[in-house]
């Protein structure tokens, strides 16, 4: 039996959207549920977290949510003695995405008899340098402490020499159950999310989820779906994709949650922002998922359905290197499975790349759509390949066990 930390404090500074909190929340929940760790998740934007968890802001810290205690912090925050003691007595302290801990807390750590195992959990990347940097540590000077403390960099990734990907122990079983009776589950899902469309589900319907940043490529892609001879239903959660959808629809008033619009063979429906578990179900039941950032990107891979990754855009196209690294690592695996690499996976690669360059993707979607069954098969193999590796929480617990010996 692996000894695991009893208490863990996770610090999350929310930059924008729900990506950062999404990853931290999943990790916190998994540590509680699967390892029995007492987790406090410290967040710096109570309003956003309340919206994310669908709770009233005032209730956020009152009682544990799914076993996780929420705490509120900021860069100028001065923890009370009780808060400080609770954090210092943690066996595991996680700084998510290199958020800098407040000076007051660093001083308290410096004065403590023992510094917890201190992790900087980084963003996900498939680039090869990640393997060389995973589990390297910073030596940190803490006020009043003669010996430097160690802060270990923990990199999620796609290979066994990285920290792996978040994956709850029952996730793949859940996907199998959803996908076993796909048509029935789809009907149920659509009835819940878009009651206005009830009864419109046909066997040849292409079901698409659209959760991207604003995109120049989206209009052409939706136009291709509208021109298709098979019907497509595009489910769009409220948020940033919607502005690009509105531009395509050219409606006088913006679509609201539960409403739908039809253009040719394409129906577009706006769905509410979903809980993480409901979003997993949506990904599982769609034929194609447009995802973005990190959390939805990882979840879509576990859903074993073809996906387009809209990577977080950076200045001077710095994100393209990261995108290519993922496409390469996935391409290598696909090639290993069925050499030479299938034309369908090459087409998908081209689609993903052009989308991220903001190019017109209309023709590409026409080309890609008939290949969705083959791409589904490949997505399944990719999921199985990833599932052969330990998940992120398991790797984290193993590291803590090694360090505490």
Active-site positions read 20, 294
Position 353 contacts another protein (CB under 8 A) = no
State which residue, 70 or 396, has the beta carbon closest to another protein.
396
Cα 79 to Cα 10, 107, 309, distances in angstroms: 15, 11, 39
Closest distance to another protein from the beta carbon of 46 (Å) = 24
Within positions 217 to 236, which residues make up the interface with another protein, using CB under 8 A? none
Position among 138, 169, 335, 338 found at the interface with another protein (CB under 8 A): 138
Pairing of strands 260-263, 266-271: antiparallel
Considering only 86, 140, 172, 354, the residue that binds another protein (CB under 8 A) is: 140
* Residue 318 contacts residue 301 (beta carbons within 8 Å): no
Residue holding tokens 């209309």? 362
Q: What x/- string results for residues 297 through 336 when contact with another protein is judged by CB under 8 A?
A: --------------xx-x---xx-xx--------------
27 vs 205 by CB, closer to another protein? 27
Binding window for another protein (CB under 8 A); candidates: 3-11, 127-135, 173-181, 235-243: 127-135
The binding track of 90-109 with respect to another protein, each residue x by CB under 8 A or -, is -------xx-----------
Can you state the percent helix, strand and coil of the chain, rounding each to 5?
45, 15, 35
- Cβ nearer to another protein, comparing 243 with 321: 321
Could you give the angle at which helices 392-404 and 19-35 cross, rounded to 10 degrees?
60
Restricting to residues 148-167, which ones interact with another protein according to CB under 8 A?
Answer: 148-149, 153
CA neighbor of 242 nearest in space, from 226, 261, 225: 261
Nearer to another protein, 3 or 15 (CB): 15
* Closest distance of CB 231 from another protein, Å: 36
Q: Cα angle at 381 between 288 and 201, to 5 degrees?
A: 30
| Dihedral angle of Cα 205, 292, 75, 108, to the nearest 10 degrees | 90
Beta carbon of residue 190, minimum distance to another protein (angstroms, whole number) = 34
Rounded-to-integer distance, Cα 10 and Cα 209, Å: 31
Closest to 163 in 3D by CA, of 96, 71, 84, 214: 96
Interface residue list for another protein (CB under 8 A) = 97-98, 120, 122-123, 125, 127, 129, 132-133, 136-142, 145-149, 153, 311-312, 314, 318-319, 321-322
């Amino acid at each position: 039996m692996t000894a695991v930390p009893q208490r863990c404090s996770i610090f999350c500074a929310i930059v924008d959207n729900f990506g950062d909190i999404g990853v931290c929340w999943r990790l916190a929940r998994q540590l509680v549920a699967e390892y029995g760790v007492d987790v406090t998740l410290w967040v710096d934007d109570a309003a956003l977290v309340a919206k994310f968890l669908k709770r009233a802001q005032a209730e956020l810290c009152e009682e544990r949510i799914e076993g996780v205690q929420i705490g509120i912090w900021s860069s100028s925050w001065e923890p009370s003695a009780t808060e400080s003691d609770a954090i210092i007595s943690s066996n595991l302290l996680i700084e998510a995405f290199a958020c800098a801990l407040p000076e007051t807390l660093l001083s308290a750590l410096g004065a403590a008899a023992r510094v917890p195992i201190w992790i900087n959990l980084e963003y996900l990347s498939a680039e090869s340098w990640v393997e060389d940097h995973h589990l390297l540590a910073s030596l940190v000077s803490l006020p009043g402490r003669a010996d430097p403390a160690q802060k270990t960099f923990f990199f999620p990734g796609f290979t066994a020499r990285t920290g792996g990907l978040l994956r709850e122990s029952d996730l793949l079983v859940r996907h199998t159950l959803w996908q076993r009776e796909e048509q029935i589950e789809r009907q149920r899902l659509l009835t819940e999310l878009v009651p206005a469309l009830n009864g419109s589900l046909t066997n040849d319907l292409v079901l698409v989820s659209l959760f991207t940043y604003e995109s120049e490529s989206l209009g052409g892609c939706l136009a291709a779906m509208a021109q298709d001879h098979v019907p497509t239903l595009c489910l769009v959660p409220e948020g940033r994709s919607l502005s690009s959808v509105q531009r395509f629809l050219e409606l006088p008033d913006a679509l609201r949650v539960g409403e739908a619009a039809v253009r040719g063979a394409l129906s577009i429906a706006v769905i509410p922002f979903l809980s993480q578990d409901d979003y997993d179900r949506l990904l599982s039941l769609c034929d194609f998922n447009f995802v973005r950032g990190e959390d939805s990107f990882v979840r879509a891979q576990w859903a074993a359905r073809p996906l387009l990754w809209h990577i977080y855009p950076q200045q001077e196209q710095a994100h393209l290197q990261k995108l290519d690294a993922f496409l390469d690592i996935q391409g290598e695996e696909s090639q290993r499975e069925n050499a030479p690499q299938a034309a369908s996976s090459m087409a998908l690669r081209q689609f993903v790349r052009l989308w991220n360059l903001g190019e017109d993707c209309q023709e590409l979607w026409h080309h890609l759509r008939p290949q969705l069954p083959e791409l589904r098969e490949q997505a399944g193999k990719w999921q199985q390949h990833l599932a052969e590796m330990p998940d992120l929480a398991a790797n984290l617990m193993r590291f803590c066990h090694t360090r505490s010996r």
